[in-house]
Amino acid sequence: MARDYGIEGCMRWGFPGKPIGHRILGGMFALPRCLELVLNQGVDRKSGKQIGQYTPDPLTFTSVEDVLKAYLEQVTFFMDKLVTIYNMADVLDEESTPQPYLSAMQEGCIQAGRDNRKYKIFPKTIIQPVGHITVANSLAAMKKFVFDEKKVSMAELLDALGNNWEGKEDLRQMFINDAPKFGNDDDYVDLIAKEVVQQSTQALKSFKNLYGGHFICDGEQEAASYYAYSGLTGPTPDGRMDKDLFNDGTISPVIGTDMKGPTTVLKSVAKVAICKALTISSTKR
């Protein structure tokens, strides 16, 4: 199996003849947008419309865990909408776009005399979230300055974000330079990143696709897709301004924030991967 695979899309592995693959390009999901909506109770700052889940007033939050809980509520709220659209599109795709060539290459379809959309062997439905580390850095900054050290009130942070940090450049630089950033082997932020990645993935996996299986979180293979979706999100508590880029890919540090070399980056990433593997292993037992 280690040798019997191929690359589909830009950098994703698959086993030839096994999965259906991308019936439709995986739905994209801008995770930092969910955090932005948490800090405005689901209201879009620019339009003033309630577009997200109504979550608690952020002024009532007493810990970063409160913020994370509300963030996951927004993720689940929007994931439900995305999954519904995705499943509807899958139905239309199955009805209107048979794929005889792909079916001829796929295990079992010729024997069954059915198109792979009808045969439904090894279905794979992918959602592609981006911006995990931007969320983690933001939560770490809030934990440090708002909840642990109490240097900044939540009201002051919300005011700065509401004005895209305008007139608050000193505060913004503190959130950029003095808050821990993922990629520097710092448990303060790395373990928050672990929670963001794991719990965002679990929220996704709680939904079923058209074929009765779980959606696959294509969580470590986003390549450059973060680039286009960063512009959908306003300023975030990591010091990022309106429409600035999220972190590169999915599990990479935000550009310019890893200060201790590539080995240290890998150590941060390993905490997320190792803890994730341990969680899955302990569940199986």
Hey, how many other C-beta atoms are within 10 angstroms of the C-beta on 231? Answer: 12
Q: Taking the model in full, what pTM does it have?
A: 0.86
Low-confidence ranges of the chain (pLDDT < 50): 220, 274-285
Q: What is the CA angle 41-172-241, rounded to 5?
A: 60
Q: Give CA angle at 234 (228, 240), nearest 5°.
A: 85
Half-sphere exposure of 207 (CA within 13 A, CB side): 25
Question: Which pLDDT value is given to residue 81?
Answer: 92
Axis-axis angle for helices 187-205, 262-284 (nearest 10): 50
Specify the 3-state DSSP secondary structure of 30: strand
Residue-level pLDDT at 148: 97
Q: 134-152 pLDDT, tens per residue?
A: 999 999 999 999 999 999 9
How far the first Cα of the chain sits from its last, in Å, is 25
Q: Are 95 and 118 in contact (CB under 8 A)?
A: no
Tens digits of per-residue pLDDT, 3-62?
Answer: 777 776 666 666 676 666 555 556 778 999 999 999 999 999 989 999 999 999 999 999
- What is the pLDDT, as a whole number, of residue 221? 53
Distance of CA 64 to the CA centre of its chain: 18
